[in-house]
Structure 1
Amino acid sequence: MEYYLAVDIGASSGRHILAHMEDGRIVLEEVYRFYNGMEDKDGHKIWNAEKLFDDILEGMKKCKEIGKIPVTMGIDTWGVDFCLLDKDDKRIGDLVAYRDDRTAGMDEEVYKIISEDELYERTGIQKAIFNTIYQLMALKTKEPEKLKEARTLLMVPDYFNFLLTGVRKQEYTNASTTQLLNAKTGEWDHELIKKLDFPDELFGELSMPGTVVGPLKREIAEKVGFDLKVVLPATHDTGSAVMSVPCTEENTLYISSGTWSLMGCELPKANCSKEAKNANFTNEGGYEKRYRFLKNIMGLWMIQSVKKEFEAGFDYPGKNKDDDYSFANLCDRAKEETIDSIVAANDGRFLNPDSMIREIQNACRECGMQVPVTPWEIARVIYRSLAKCYKETTEEIENITGKKFNSVNIVGGGSNAVYLNELTAAETGRSVNAGPGEATAIGNIGAQMLSNGVFSSLSEFRECVYQSFGVIKY
């Protein structure tokens, strides 16, 4: 039996998921899960790269322990973050996180060189202050010696692949989040890179999902107890998640629901129109160079942050020591509340506030709305606010693309939020199909299986996802 290993690392946790085919269906098995989160170091928010890589190896060792050795593995993570290597392939500095404030004001530095309109026309990528282009401008402006020392730029999953194999590859879907790819060609925009005075040698040949990176380095194979091939999935987690949307219709509206809610559709060509720019849509790279035309919505980051604060002891009226702050209970209890307040969920104020609870309360107070105080009231405000965003985004996508959608296909962890799914169906006026929660890992595995000839096409893989996991309709 052939096993495939997906290492899916999100902003709050990572997991190793094994898959194999059985009676024509994909069977999943989680073998290892680990914590991830930003840390504070030297005035910056960083990812602990060493710990993350140790966890990658630990999960691989678990495969050995249970006697299920994968033939290939693939790693996916979030986008935009990167590291630089010097001439000796040593990492330069820490792996700084996208929520770090080093990019404050860097948009204006970029727009001194190229206008915001022209930048969108060239790249098709929505403005987000944490995009790689602004992170690199921060380095150029504040720490130019690091850029001068650099010889290689690797996005986060590219870096872990390098540590595993010693091979440097830049994968297309994650590279598309840098805002440095040309939307028409799908390649690095070297003219733009030259204008910005970033070292051109950092941007080499792009590799597509399904590409074999190589075998494990000998010392890595010895550590984990076996060898395999490392294969590129769509290394941007949303790219992998969209691959596993269990729908083969040409016009498919999806939400990849996790820390972020990524809502959009697939297009054969990027849409870099003024209408798309004004609505803040992005054209990220997808499998087979499809374009993921989507909008970033704040997503479950809000409820994740609130959950942590209540678990840490945040006080509220009627608090009970036995109160359950699990996502499932927050969602169920929210449905029972009656508060009608909503907030602009995509407002930048919710990106990284000192207290998400206080920020939501302040936003309601400023708008003259009832202020939520209990966990269940706050959860209701969040879920209703997200559903309203989904409605507005659905209308924008239809207006900009001219497409019509009868349903919303939700995949990822948020597909398990029954109350949010019900709200989304009510707000959008469309049926909601809730697909697999482990969508990103499934898409990661799909790219590996396609590379290995298990499936002949993306459509065939998606049909198998539907047959294997089904959907829950709302």
Structure 2
Amino acid sequence: MSYKNFLSFSITDSICTGTLCRYDSDENVMEIKDICRFSNSEIYVNNHRYHDILSVFSHIKKGISKALKETDNNIESIGISAYGREYGLIDKYGFLIQNVFSCKDSRTDNMTDKVLRFIKKDDVFTTTGANLSKYSSMVQLMAEMDSRPYILENTDTFLMLPDLLNYMLTGRKTAEYTNAFSSQLMNCEKMDWSGKIISMLRIRRNIFPEISDNCFNDMLPEICSELKCEPVKIKICGSEISNISAILEKYPHSVIINNSEHTKICIFTDKPVLSKSASDYEIENTGTYNKKFIAFHNENGINITDDTIKCFTQRDIPCSYSKLSNTALNAEPLRCFIDTQLDIFENNDNIPIAIQDYCKNSGQYVPQNVSEMVRCLYESIAFRYADTIEKLKRISSQSYNSVCMTGKDSDNPVICQTLADICGVSVYAFPEKTMLYCNLAIQMKQSLDMNISDIISILIPEEKITEYKPSGDNKALNAYQSFSVTSSYTCV
């Protein structure tokens, strides 16, 4: 038998995982196993929020060590993907200058107003492909210049978080293309650091490393010695949202709805979508590993579901994604709806009461029990997704023939079937770990000399995907159209 082993780490701002994939080329099958899981919780010090990057690095090394033992020191490559707004600053001696701040740290409060003194809001969008956000790397750097300019004066290299981990493992200072894209410091059309943005920040251009789309580097000899292994290739796999493009290789005319830390509705494009209507609707653009683009919109879908689960759990009501889905099926469909994007449903610790209040105040039927409240929530999420999909289609001038649901709560029968009936296309529910499979597929492509679509087909065989076909019943579509008139949905 001929085996190749691939190790992939997915670093999020909550739980991180290390996954081992064993490919049997004779049988053309892949066996996947979790090697490690560890927390990446924020640390609060003197009213500031940090990520413990050294702890993450230590856990990664432990995961590598465990994988080496399980594979008899036979690992083809190690891939790392991570969330995309945090960064590290390296001095001329190669040392990390400061702890890695969370993008949610308070130092960026009110900082967007200062940015707008130097650059127009529209220019930010047309240059970087995303609207100005207090969480972006650009605004964080403005905060550094505003309060602690000496930090940047002593900076030799700026590295986004995945690139920082790559540096710690390989000693190489490079910027993976999609990570640079997510920093809001890159010109999305020229695919290089934006001199306009960087000069506006009054930062030296030379601290930003070369942007590369092929970040395979050898692990440092001292780490190989520590782990008692031969040199291993380290691959920076890019930001998680960009890696969803692996699914789009197999389903090129699909809309992707990804529920990971947040819900993102994505569509493949050949160039960034930079129109005023895209900016007004808060469309964001990101690059993909194959130098195409994804236009996407952030939604509250999975966040409001998580808040609902938390609320019921606090009331000692056993709750999970599957239990909520089954509960919703017991309620009569299409009786009442909410607009899930309203502020009253964001970070609300009593979603059930908020649902009832909204329905009462809008003159609708008020759900009376858990089943009815959850049914209302799920159908409303589907309504919102349908509205966003239509806007993405219109703004990007891209057509679609299916919808792919990935991530947490992806196989939700109420959401999937309602969405299929409104959009009139099949909705495919992929396994929860689809993002991990995408990361692996991009990492494995070069070593296996296979195209991404074929790798995805092996990692996610058809029997693991549930298809929801349009039922032919127009009740959901009629209810959606009726609710759209009275909700905050806007035509673009």
The alignment's TM-score, normalised by the length of structure 2, stands at 0.84
Q: Distance in 2 between matches of 1:25 and 1:386?
A: 36
Match of residue 341 from structure 2: 345
**Secondary structure of the equivalent of 2:23?**
strand
Q: Report the alpha carbon displacement of residue 364 of structure 1 after superposing the two structures with TM.
A: 6.4
SS of residue matched to 1:99: coil
My pick for the range that moved more, 441-450 or 221-230, is 221-230
**Are the aligned partners of 2:13 and 2:41 in contact in 1 as well (CA < 8 Å)?**
yes
- Distance change in 2, residues 1:372/1:176 (3 Å): farther
> Mind listing any 5+ residue stretches in structure 1 that lack a counterpart?
none
Counterpart for residue 444 of structure 2: 449
State how far apart, in whole Å, the 2-side matches of 1:454 and 1:376 are.
49
Instruction: Show the counterpart of 1:76.
Output: 81
Question: Within 1, Cα distance between the matches of 2:369 and 2:104?
Answer: 27
Query: Whose radius of gyration is greater, 1 or 2?
Result: 2
CA distance in 1 between counterparts of 2:40 and 2:323 reads 23
1:143 aligns with 2:169: no
- After superposition, what is the alpha-carbon deviation per residue over 1:40-87, rounded to whole angstroms, capped at 9, x for unaligned? 222122222222222212222221332353210010011111121222
SS at 2:233 equivalent: strand
Identify which of 407, 410, 414 aligns with 1:412: 407
SS, match of residue 414 in structure 1: coil
Aligned to 1:11: 13
8 A contact 1:343–1:381 mirrored in 2? no
Q: Give the drift of 1:4.
A: 0.6
**Alignment-mate amino acid for residue 340 of structure 1:** C
Residue 296 of structure 1 is matched in structure 2 by: 298
C-alpha distance in 2 between matches for 1:39 and 1:426: 45
**Aligned mate of 2:234, from 231, 235, 245:** 231
Aligned to 1:37: 41
Distance change (3 Å), C-alpha of 1:52 and 1:418: farther
Q: Which of these residues, 409, 424, 432, is aligned with residue 427 of structure 2?
A: 432
Please give the root-mean-square deviation of Cα atoms over the aligned residues, in Å: 2.8
The reply on whether 1:400 has 2:395 as its aligned counterpart is yes
C-alpha change, 1:50 and 1:327, in structure 2 (3 Å) is: farther
CA distance in 1, matches of 2:42, 2:423: 34
Cα distance change of structure 1 residues 135 and 336 upon mapping to structure 2, 3 Å threshold: farther
In terms of mean alpha carbon deviation, does 326-335 or 198-207 score higher? 326-335
Against the structure 1 CA distance between its residues 473 and 191, is the aligned structure 2 distance closer, same or farther, given a 3 Å change threshold?
same
SS in 2 for 1:235: strand
Q: Which of these residues, 198, 207, 213, is aligned with residue 212 of structure 2?
A: 207
SS at 1:33's partner residue?
Answer: strand
TM-score normalised by structure 1 residue count: 0.87
The answer to whether structure 1 residue 190 and structure 2 residue 195 are counterparts is: yes
Greater shift, 11-20 or 334-343, is seen at: 334-343
Question: Which of the pair has the greater relative contact order for Cα pairs under 8 Å at 6+ separation?
Answer: 1
Question: What residue in structure 2 maps to residue 24 of structure 1?
Answer: 28
Q: Which runs of 5+ in 2 are unaligned?
A: 469-492
Q: Deviations over 1:206-254 (max 9, x none)?
A: 111x43122x223322343424433334320112233135x63442211
Worse overlay, 63-72 or 437-446: 63-72
Question: C-alpha separation between the residues in 2 aligned to 1:363 and 1:261?
Answer: 20
Quote the Cα distance in structure 2 between the aligned partners of 1:376 and 1:132: 42
CA contact (8 A) 1:3 1:18 kept: yes
> How is 1:154-169 mapped onto 2 (pairs within 5 angstroms)?
154-169=159-174
CA–CA distance in structure 2, aligned partners of residues 33 and 251 of structure 1: 34
What's the counterpart of residue 390 of structure 1?
385
Query: In the aligned structure 2, how far is the partner of 1:371 from the partner of 1:228?
Result: 63
Closer/same/farther in 2, CA of residues 296 and 128 from structure 1, 3 Å limit = farther
For these two proteins, the number of residue pairs brought into alignment is 458
Q: Percent identity?
A: 23
Deviation track 1:381-433 (CA, whole Å, cap 9, x = no partner) reads: 65344322211111011111223222101222332444433343344343211
Q: Give me the whole-angstrom Cα distance separating, in 1, the residues matched to 2:379 and 2:95.
A: 47
Q: CA contact under 8 A between 2:256 and 2:265: conserved in structure 1? A: yes
Distance in 1, Cα, partners of 2:217 & 2:342:
37
Superposition deviation, residue 372 in structure 1: 8.0
User: Per the alignment, in what secondary structure is the counterpart of residue 397 of structure 1?
Assistant: helix
- Whether contact under 8 Å (2:311, 2:351) holds in the other structure is no
What secondary structure sits across from 1:145 in the alignment? helix
